[in-house]
Amino acid sequence: MNKTRRQTLIPLLLILSPVLILGISLFIGRYPQPIWMNPSLLGSDEIAQRLVLNLRLPRILTAMLLGMSLSAAGGVMQMLFRNPLVEPGFLGVSQGAGFGAALCIVFLSKSPLAIEGFATLFAVLGLLFSYFFARKMRYGGWLLRLVLAGIAVSAFFSAGLGILKYLADPNSQLQEIVFWLLGGLYSITWKSLLYVAPVVLVGMVVIYLMRWRLNLLALEDETAFSLGVSVGRERTLLLGASVAVTAVVISVAGIVGWVGLIIPHIARRITGANAANFIPVSISLGAIFGVLCDDLARTLMPGEIPLGIITSLLGAVIFIFLMVKPNFKVKA
Amino acid sequence: MSERSLLTINELTFAYDSTRASALNKVSFEIDAGTITTILGPNGAGKTTLLHLLLGLRKPSGGSILLEDLPLNQYSRRDLSQWMGLVPQSEHVSFEYTVLEYVLLGRAPYLSPLELPGEADVEIARDAMRKVGIASLEHRPIPELSGGELQLVLLARALAQQPRILLLDEPTSHLDLANRNVTLRILDALRKEGTTILFTTHDPEAALIVADNIVLMNAGKVLAAGSFSETFTSEKLTETYGVPVEVVRTDGIQVVKSSGRLS
């Protein structure tokens, strides 16, 4: 294949495959029978119409945004922290969101919107605390300090979460907390999609446009500086975009692990390390992975399987598979 | 020497921490265009700190740096990055870039924040790789390179920046003799093309091979600065390193003698 044809074909493939998967997924579920709904049913069955439009479509779109966000954010953070084993929620974001959600469930309300608001708030607080402590710390370089602060803040929130679980009413609240923590998109409506989509789209645009720049930000500070990069400002912008998309996505979906770790790895296996190439592939693969995992969550059993269980299970299996393949190298 | 220097460093002082002794103490010297200047001194003399100040990475607590008679802080980040390229002492690469991808990062000073390198940039990067003799490594992953090859990749990346001044931090310190000489020969060729070169080293032999001018440093101070013949003497080197160093002539070639076999 010549170069120019490849240059038009690959982007097209990256955009079309998630859209195709999305289209197919609209007819996957447990109505009227498990797994597949005949598309012609949409013409005659009003329940099918309402189901597809009001439940499945917003949910699948959210699954797509979730996969895109976590994969892009994971890729960005792995570059910024020069560490291929970093996950997007690690700077206190995931644990903060979990704590916020539990706080809301125990003391306030079980309404999805309230939980989403609290989860977002505490996800952002988690990051701010990490950032604040990293600034105060007198040890090591900036990146190391951020990582250490992130670990401490995560531990703090997870202890808080433990207390909340202990306090929660085991008959109603505790189940709710546990289910939220396992992650899932069962409560998604158009409203929550409208809450997530603007943040995710802005974040994706920032990350996509600055993708080549990420390579420079992964260099040592002095080298990046000598190449004319405003290291602090650009790093903050990309970190901000990544944390924002991660926080809103976690706030509606709960803790969905492994996506942000494994998808950038696979993308790099396909395109090589250059972020200009692997970020778009990561976003596209993430969208596909998000939708497929949610399809499994909705379809495999009569009840819902929490999405986080499926992503962790698949993610871990893929990760081990990649690790034992002889040409796979992890460099930390 | 021309009458107007390209870089004028005047009474430069810098401390990492106000409670500690200054890392640089009233350092002054000049650099002329198209020369190789070597900052020579033992470990911890303040050589790398000085490079960071020249890059603009750190701000001096006193004194000034003039680039073409203009204070360094009057230049924008972007301008400076087109003026000066840095070859760091070493670099840890966490991801499997190919050599070409890595050298292309040197084009950043000429691209806007949202721009990707284009065909013209690839040509310039390839040219830089040819200059340092690594054109054949284009598609090799960086982590598979030897230390000597990586050093040349870092040099090619700085050349892709098309800098008029090339700063190198200990470019030969972890190279074997053959690779050291390859690197120094490249620097010599670049000087002949008009590039101004400044490199730090703790190895007097590297200075002996290519330096036009030498700045001798110890404990944050300049002990001597001037042409090779003025500064590269047994007496001054001995003072710089605090151990006996002798510059001797054998068969008409200058040689540095600093050690013999313990007996």
The predicted pLDDT at position A328 comes to 52
Q: CA-nearest residue of chain B to A222?
A: B57
Q: Report yes or no: A212 at the B interface, CB cutoff 8 Å.
A: yes
Segment holding B87, helix H or strand E: strand B84-87
CB nearest B85 (choices: A79, A212, A226) = A226
How confident is the model over A269-277, as a mean pLDDT?
93
pLDDT tens digits along A112-124: 889 989 999 999 9
Note the residue count of chain A.
332
Contact call for A273 and B96, based on CB within 8 A: yes
Contact call for B77 and A228, based on CB within 8 A: yes
Q: Report yes or no: A147 at the B interface, CB cutoff 8 Å.
A: no
How confident is the model over A168-180, as a mean pLDDT?
90
Question: Which residues does chain A have within 8 Å of residue B86's beta carbon, measured at their own beta carbons?
Answer: 222-223, 226
Question: Which residues does chain A have within 8 Å of residue B88's beta carbon, measured at their own beta carbons?
Answer: 220, 222-223
3-state secondary structure of A291: helix
Q: What's the CA gap between A114 and A33, in Å, rounded?
A: 34
Q: What's the CA gap between A44 and A32, in Å, rounded?
A: 13
Question: Which residues does chain B have within 8 Å of residue A213's beta carbon, measured at their own beta carbons?
Answer: 113-114
The predicted pLDDT at position B108 comes to 97
pLDDT tens digits along A66-78: 999 999 999 999 9
Q: What's the CA gap between A322 and A327, in Å, rounded?
A: 9
Q: Report yes or no: A233 at the B interface, CB cutoff 8 Å.
A: no
Q: How far is CA A190 from CA A52, A56, A67, A276, in A?
A: 12, 10, 18, 33
Contact call for B114 and A216, based on CB within 8 A: no
Q: Which residue has the tokens 């020969």?
A: B185
Contact call for B78 and A228, based on CB within 8 A: yes
CB B38 within 8 A of CB B214: yes
CATH, domain A55-324, list 1.10.3470.10, 3.90.1150.10, 3.30.1280.10, 3.40.640.10 = 1.10.3470.10
Any idea where the domains of chain A sit in the sequence? 55-324
Give the closest residue to B221 by CA, choosing from B31, B74, B79, B41: B41
Question: Which residues does chain B have within 8 Å of residue A227's beta carbon, measured at their own beta carbons?
Answer: 81, 105-106, 108-109, 161
Low-confidence ranges of chain B (pLDDT < 50): 1-2
Give the closest residue to A222 by CA, choosing from B57, B110, B87: B57
CA angle (A66, A70, A71) in 5-degree steps = 115
Q: How many CB atoms lie within 10 A of CB A94?
A: 27
Question: Which residues does chain A have within 8 Å of residue B85's beta carbon, measured at their own beta carbons?
Answer: 226
Q: CA-nearest residue of chain A to B166?
A: A226
CB A200 within 8 A of CB B77: no
Contact call for B114 and A225, based on CB within 8 A: no
pLDDT band for A85, please (50, 70, 90 cuts). confident
CB B154 within 8 A of CB B102: no
The predicted pLDDT at position B235 comes to 93
A331 min Cα distance to partner chain B (Å): 6
Angle between helices A275-299 and A307-324 (to 10 degrees): 130
Q: What's the CA gap between B160 and B87, in Å, rounded?
A: 12
Which is it for strands B165-169 and B196-201: parallel, antiparallel or unpaired? parallel
3-state secondary structure of A290: helix
CB A48 within 8 A of CB A30: no
Share of chain A above pLDDT 90, in %: 61
Residue A1 burial (C-beta neighbours within 10 Å; 0-12, 13-18, 19+)? exposed
Residue pairs between chains A and B whose CB atoms are closer than 8 Å: 85
Residue B224: strand pairing partners = B216
Contact call for A329 and B96, based on CB within 8 A: yes
CB nearest A223 (choices: B56, B86, B143) = B86
Share of chain A above pLDDT 70, in %: 97
In the predicted model, is pLDDT for residue A159 greater than 90? yes
ipTM rounded to 2 decimals:
0.91
Q: How many CB atoms lie within 10 A of CB B223?
A: 17
pLDDT tens digits along A12-36: 999 999 999 999 999 888 888 788 8
Contacts of A52-55 with CB under 8 Å at 24 or more apart are: A52/A26, A52/A27, A54/A189, A54/A190
The predicted pLDDT at position A327 comes to 61
Query: Token pair for residue A267?
Result: 């993308």
Contact call for B95 and A84, based on CB within 8 A: yes
pLDDT tens digits along A248-260: 999 899 999 899 9
Question: Which residues does chain B have within 8 Å of residue A215's beta carbon, measured at their own beta carbons?
Answer: 97, 101, 105
- Collect all residues with Cβ–Cβ distance below 8 Å to B183 and sequence separation of at least 6: B151, B152, B155, B171, B172, B175
